[in-house]
Amino acid sequence: MSTTRRIFTREFKVEPIKQLDSGKPTGHVARRLEVNPNTLHRWRRELKKHPTTAFSGQGSRWQEPCSTWCWCVLTFCLTTGGSPQFATILRLVIRNKG
C-alpha cells in the first residue's frame, strides 16, 4: 500500500486557522480535518509571518528571497563605492544560498 501526500489549497489552510483564532480547540479542528495538530500550528505561524505569500505554491515551503536581496545590495554596494569586504561576503552568500 503506497501513501500519497495530500495537497491542501490556501483556502483549505486558512479556514481552520480562522477557527483556531475564534477559540476552537486545536485538537478538535485537527481531528475534524484529519491533520496533525502540529500542522495547524505551522500553518498558523506561516500565515502570521507571511500573510500575503503563505501557501502560494504547490506544497513547497515559503523561502526568504535571500539571493535577490543580496544581489540588490551587492549592486548598490559596487555602484556606490561601498566596502569591498562587504561585497565579497555578499557574493559568498549568493553562491551558497542560490
Backbone angles phi, psi at 7, to 5 degrees: -110, 125
Q: Is the pLDDT assigned to residue 63 strictly greater than 70?
A: no
Higher per-residue confidence, 25 vs 83: 25
Q: Is the pLDDT assigned to residue 12 strictly greater than 70?
A: yes
Q: Please choose, from the candidates 73, 5, 82, 72, the residue with its C-alpha nearest in 3D space to the C-alpha of residue 36.
A: 5
Quickly state the pLDDT bin for 50 (edges 50, 70, 90): confident
Higher per-residue confidence, 50 vs 24: 24
